[in-house]
A and B are shown apart, each in its own frame.
Chain A
Amino acid sequence: MRRFFKRVASLFGAVRAENELEREIESHLGILQDNFEKSGLSPAKAKLAARRSYGNVESVKELHRETRSYMWVENLVRDVGYGWRSLSHTPGFTCVAAIALALGIGANTAIFGVVNAVILQPLAYRDSDRLVTILHNGTGPVATANYMDWRDQSHAFETMGAADYWSPNISGDDRSDSRPAEHLFGLKVTQNMLPMLGVQPLLGRLFVKGEDREGSKHEVVLSYALWQRRFNGDRNVLGKLIRLDGGAYSVIGVMPRGFKFAPFWATHTELWAPATLEATVHERGGNHLRVFARLKPGITLAQARADMAAVTGRLEKQYPATNRNVVVRPLKENVVGNVETPLLMMLGAVGFVLLIACANVAHLMLARTSGRQREIAVRAALGAGKVRLMAQFLTESLLLAAIGAGAGVLLAFAGIKALVSLAPADVPRVELVTIDAHVLLFLICATGLTAVAFGLAPAMQAAAGNFSETVKEGGRGNSSGKRRSRLRGFLVASEFALAFTLLIGAGLMVRSFYALQSVKTGFNPHNVSTMVVSVAGTNEAEPGRRRIFYQALLERLKAVPGVKAAGGINHLPIAGDLWDRNLEIGGRPRPRPGEAPNAVYRIVMPGYFEAMQLPIMKGRAITYGDGATAPAVVMINQRAAERFWPGENPIGKRLQLLGGGEGSRPNWLTVIGVTANARLDDMVSPPYPEIYVAALQTPEFMGEGTGDIGVHMTYLTLVVRSNQNPANLVPQIRHVVESFDRALPISQVLTMDEAVGLATAQPRFEMWLLASFGALATILAAVGIYGVMNYAVSQRTREIGIRISLGAGRSEILQMVMSQGMKQAAAGILAGVAAAMLLSRLMVKMLFGVQPNDPFTFLGVSTILVLTAAAAIAIPARKAIRIEPVIALRTE
């Protein structure tokens, strides 16, 4: 080994070697000169004579240099050539090994590609690591007055901006435009919001100071996608007037392709307009703004947090029950926070698969090395040192890994395509996933490490062999001894340990997913189609007309053949937005600020409960009788009944909505019915109190209110139950809507089954990914144990033959082989249990309804692996008991 380092050192110490050479020549010339002087020449003549007799100094140097440097280059070239020849002599081995490696490397590269784009790459804003969000509990919206105080009183931020959800309808930009109206997703932003991000517009400009004041002209910035889709990429779009919700907006800019804001909420945003905050400037209750800020240069996150804590602490004293739990968080954390753990886990899982593939190739190589002992012995006898032999074997491994990597890249391309198209829609930045320089670097490193991982053991074995013995023995190859079979046993056991750990991960995801599937939605999601009809900017938005339109629309829908029930709601359960309201319960003291009971706020048109088949547990549903002039009514869910009137009959009790904005008058609602608990916005959160008010009794919903809240109530989600495939009904529902007005945009067409599917898309994706890794791992482990046992049996043919001829029964032979193999598998599984107990804890956040050390999963996975191992060992075991002693003894 020391010599090896010396040679490596000589590679890098070329300068020193050159000096050494100079010195040596100098000394030689000196000695020659001395000799000539001794023979009587004058010093000057002696020097000349020495020169002459020495010959060409430069050519000597050249020769010397070659000796110094040729070794490693020549060795490398020779090793690569040799490795290539030896690999191509055994195409079967090469193919199997390359496929295993390609699967491992390809899968790793694909997953790393996703991790790289989604987690590692910075957000596409200038100095994006300086951007933070300032939100309640990290993600919750903020009231206008609080935002303004934060902005004015904090010192840690260069700028602080805010954004508000906005979903306008765009209609034809002039009368001759016949394109259908479209429901868009946008944001209203403070003037400084877009400039804060540091992205220049592709065309035009961003908002300037003053454009977010009330009364200023309406202006809008478009996304690249909207510009292309709606305006065909026309550069003359700047200055053009477009109609949004009936108002005229002039286009002042277009953002570049790929620009996205906001990155973690309202991610479908396609246009931005200035937010005018004057109307809500004194509001500390209605939380609707998302606050973003850029840290001042030199300010750390901790300093910013301290600054905000001081500001909010002061404000909380001033305005009790406000400014609580305000969290300053890096923007990126909000973007990738939800997917970070699962993605890194997938990377770990796929790393396990690669390790198993390495172990497999390693013992393929070991078996091959044993077969090549004669060759190795001859090479050693011819003067190849141990290091040279190791280098040669490692070069061969590297070559093999490179072949695997070549195929792996192709697999990775296909894999990334598949991952991107199969990934649940809410994985952020998934559109950015590509194979870039980082991914290629990862691939190269993975390949090198892989080669060392599977090539080191065979290389060391090749170098360690007792060659003269081998040559004498005629290469019978059974001098391998215990050490080698122990190494194989260890490799097989590790494969089983890794496969076990992976399968536990997969098993837990499967259990968790089935637990999710069996969660009751509370309603019957089958055969229900839903879609959002937006009236904003159309004639139907007018007070009075809207009321009539909604009722007439539902009546017409009920008349469509196949429709069993039709209703409407503001936001769908599971798939829709969640609004909550603070309440006052009748007969109790008025709640102090911050202590009011809270419930999810739903506004329904009659027929909703019928269409959803959401059971009414007590009382009755809202009907058309509960109109504008009738007594105001409300329905609540069971959770609300338990929370607000524990142990009492809630029917006939009264409650009042608080915080309806300025101008909302006291309005007591009487509870008329109790519904079952429906899922809120996902499948895992526990039930929460919900109240359902009658749309017909909610003036804001009908465009007749005075409060600010009505601006956000310009749409109705239709819920239609039919007796057939709900997708078939969609064209007819569209047709009915269009028969009222072609300008009415329809969006978010979804069946409730699809909505439930979307809510479980991420766990389903994770389950499939882990399950396929687990299956791959199991197959590789089975192939591994089969290979090792098969080899063991062929090595012991003679011994088994002797045993049989000495009277050993077939069952004893069978038992012997099986127990040898099963011991290795069992050792692996035991190690796997320990590893899985530790690692499965990391999954807690991804699991639902199952504990990370779920005994059923552990038991089931153990059973699967034991059976797999038994099946794989049975094949060589059968071979063993069929050995004919006479033949076995004769062949050797």
Chain B
Amino acid sequence: MGPQHSYAIAARLQQVSEDLLYLNQGTLYPALVRLEQQGRIKGTWSKTESNRDAKFYALTKAGEKTLKQEALRWRRIAGLVERLLSEGA
């Protein structure tokens, strides 16, 4: 998936999560701004298919690295929690 504008990101999240995760624009924007400030994503203005102005966000190198680390961490924690819960059950 290449650079995406915020609406597409929200739509995609909603789609992938099978409507479980619906991000209000008010929630998504600040997150994008923060990620951009942290240098993890980079936004560039461009045109959509229907010729609208939109900002397209792409992961930076640092972003990819962070993503990998965070994903790893999440899996570990999730796995750990899962194991703990299943042990206890």
Contacts and interface: CB of A to CB of B under 8 A. Distances in A.
Interface of A: 2-3, 6-7, 10, 21, 23-28, 30-32, 34, 54-55, 59-60, 63-64, 66-68, 71, 385
Contact of A32 (B7, B37, B53): B7
Contacts of A71: 37
Contacts of B50: 31, 34
B7 A55 contact: no
Interface of chain A, helix or strand or loop or mixed? Answer: helix
B44 interface: no
Contacts of A34: 48, 50, 52
Interface in B2-42: 5-8, 24-27, 29-31, 33-34, 37-39
Contacts of B45: 23
A67 B34 contact: yes
B29 A64 contact: yes
Contacts of B39: 2-3, 6
A55 B37 contact: no
Interface range for B: 20 to 34
B54 interface: yes
B30 A31 contact: no
B53 A30 contact: yes
12 contacts: A23-B55, A24-B29, A27-B53, A28-B6, A31-B54, A55-B25, A63-B27, A64-B29, A64-B30, A67-B30, A67-B31, A67-B33
Q: Which 3 A-B residue pairs are closest in the complex by CB-CB distance?
A: A67-B30, A60-B26, A27-B54
Contacts of B53: 23, 26-27, 30
A24 B7 CA distance: 10
Given A26-B53, A34-B50, A6 B37 contact: yes
A842 B30 CA distance: 60
Contacts of A67: 29-31, 33-34
B55 A24 contact: yes
Nearest to B37: A7
Contact of B7 (A28, A59, A66, A385): A28
Contact of B6 (A6, A10, A24): A24
Contacts of A385: 38
Interface string B48-80: 101011110000000000000000000000000
Contact of A28 (B25, B30, B33, B37): B25
Contacts of A30: 52-54
A31 B26 CA distance: 16
A10 B39 CA distance: 13
Nearest to B27: A63
A5 to B, nearest CB: 11
A10 B37 contact: yes
Given A23-B55, A31-B5, A54-B25, 5 more contacts: A24-B6, A31-B54, A63-B26, A64-B26, A64-B30
A68 B7 contact: no
A68 B26 contact: no
Contact of B30 (A6, A26, A63): A63
Contact of B52 (A21, A27, A59, A60): A27
A526 B43 CA distance: 89
B36 to A, nearest CB: 9
Contacts of B54: 27-28, 30-31
Contacts of A2: 39
A887 B48 CA distance: 73
Nearest to B30: A67
Nearest to B53: A27
A55 B48 contact: no
Contacts of B24: 55
Given A3-B38, A63-B26, A31 B52 contact: yes
A27 B25 contact: no
A59 B29 CA distance: 12
Interface centre among A6, A7, A21, A60 (most CB of B within 10 A): A60
A3 B37 contact: yes
Interface centre among B24, B26, B30 (most CB of A within 10 A): B26
Given A3-B38, A7-B37, A23-B53, A59 B26 contact: yes
Contacts of B31: 67
A256 to B, nearest CB: 59
Contacts of A63: 26-27, 29-30
A25 B37 CA distance: 19
Interface centre among B7, B24, B31, B53 (most CB of A within 10 A): B7
Contacts of B30: 63-64, 66-67
Contacts of A23: 45, 53, 55
B57 to A, nearest CB: 11
Contacts of A32: 7
B56 to A, nearest CB: 10
Contacts of B52: 27, 30-31, 34
A64 B33 contact: yes
Nearest to B7: A31
A400 B24 CA distance: 44
A2 B62 CA distance: 13
A71 B35 CA distance: 13
A32 B27 CA distance: 17
A26 B48 CA distance: 13
A116 B56 CA distance: 58
A542 B38 CA distance: 96
Contacts of A25: 25
Contacts of B55: 23-24, 27
Contacts of B25: 25, 28, 54-55, 60
Contacts of B38: 3, 385
A27 B29 CA distance: 13
Contacts of A66: 30
Nearest to A10: B37
Contacts of A26: 53
Contacts of A27: 5, 52-55
A31 B6 CA distance: 10
